[in-house]
Structure 1
Amino acid sequence: MTDTTETQDLVITRVFDAPPELVYRAFTDPDQLAAWFGPAGWSVPRATVSVEARVGGHQRFTMVNDADPSMTSAVDATFTELVENELLVGTQRVDVGAGEITMALRLEFHDEEGRTRLVLRQGPFSPGTESGAREGWGSSFGKLDALLAR
């Protein structure tokens, strides 16, 4: 019998034209997170964001669809490892409308001569869902590029 429930992790490497401390802060400062997180067509109201950047702390927010605000996706993450400006690791519970999923998230911030190479690992994803998450992160990172350029 073959197991058809194979899962996979999403791995994205992206270089940002900003030092690691600024990219890290974009993930841990509530005002900045609200300014860039979410793919095109989605936003994160600042009132929904709460971040406590420490081991055992949390990152909580709700993405809202711009065209239909009744469509939302809440994220509730708990940090399990944290090294300021270098590493964020945690477990995320994400409300995807049809239920809640739990995933691991690891963000590594590498200094490359004043720029940041971010390595993101998230999962597990069921077959076919990893590509949507990749597209969502790519769109969000476009917004983060614009924020960091200010």
Structure 2
Amino acid sequence: MAVKSGAAGDSGLIARPSLTLTRRVKADPAKVYAAWTDPQKIARWFGPASVKAGTERASIDARVGGTYRVSFDMESGEHHEVGGVYREMVSNQRLVFSWAWHTTPERESLVTVSLKPDGDGTLLTLTHEQFFDEAARDGHQRGWNGALDKLQNFIA
């Protein structure tokens, strides 16, 4: 697992924090891709470790330009809802989508999920870019780690 901050490019844009996580998943890329793009499947694993079981809901229009929305309740009682638009989809290989919480839609960021065959499994690399600040990046790092743990358990 690596966490890094993005750097300003030639465009002069302000550098925003980002993170990259890598996991080896014990399933082929097609099964992992389906876990990200099928609303019934993603609702069974998505969200941080402290999601209250049975509260996950998802709607997915899995095509470039299509939207997704996932909601869940935390064990603490907090309700969370995130959504965005698919910007790139390469079946069983890559997903790129915008990311914005319903409470802060102006803080849109970008997620890229890359899948590569790795023996009898898949090497999953998740990059989340353009966080509002480092605190947001750090919170998402915890959330994504919990979600990827749950993905591994769901697929196993």
Query: CA offset at residue 121 of structure 1?
Result: 0.8
| 1:130 counterpart residue number | 137
Instruction: Tell me the distance in 1 between the aligned counterparts of 2:85 and 2:60.
Output: 10
| 1:105 counterpart residue number | 111
Query: CA offset at residue 37 of structure 1?
Result: 0.7
Q: Percent identity?
A: 29
Question: How many residue pairs are counted as aligned between the two chains?
Answer: 140
Instruction: Tell me the distance in 1 between the aligned counterparts of 2:86 and 2:37.
Output: 11
Displacement over 6 Å in runs of 4+: none
User: Deviations along 1:3-43, whole A, 9 cap, x unmatched?
Assistant: xx752111111110111111111111111111101112214
| 2:55 counterpart residue number | 45
User: Deviations along 1:53-95, whole A, 9 cap, x unmatched?
Assistant: 1111121111211231xx2221111011111111101112223
Structural RMSD (CA): 1.7
Q: Partner of 1:18: helix, strand, or coil?
A: coil
Q: Partner of 1:129: helix, strand, or coil?
A: helix
| 1:18 counterpart residue number | 27
- Which structure has the highest strand share of the two? 1
| 1:81 counterpart residue number | 88
Does 2:67 correspond to 1:58? yes
Does 2:41 correspond to 1:32? yes
Instruction: Tell me the distance in 1 between the aligned counterparts of 2:79 and 2:95.
Output: 24
Asked if the contact 1:30–1:50 (Cα under 8 Å) also holds between the matched residues in 2, the reply is yes
1:130-149 matches, within 5 Å, as 130-149=137-156
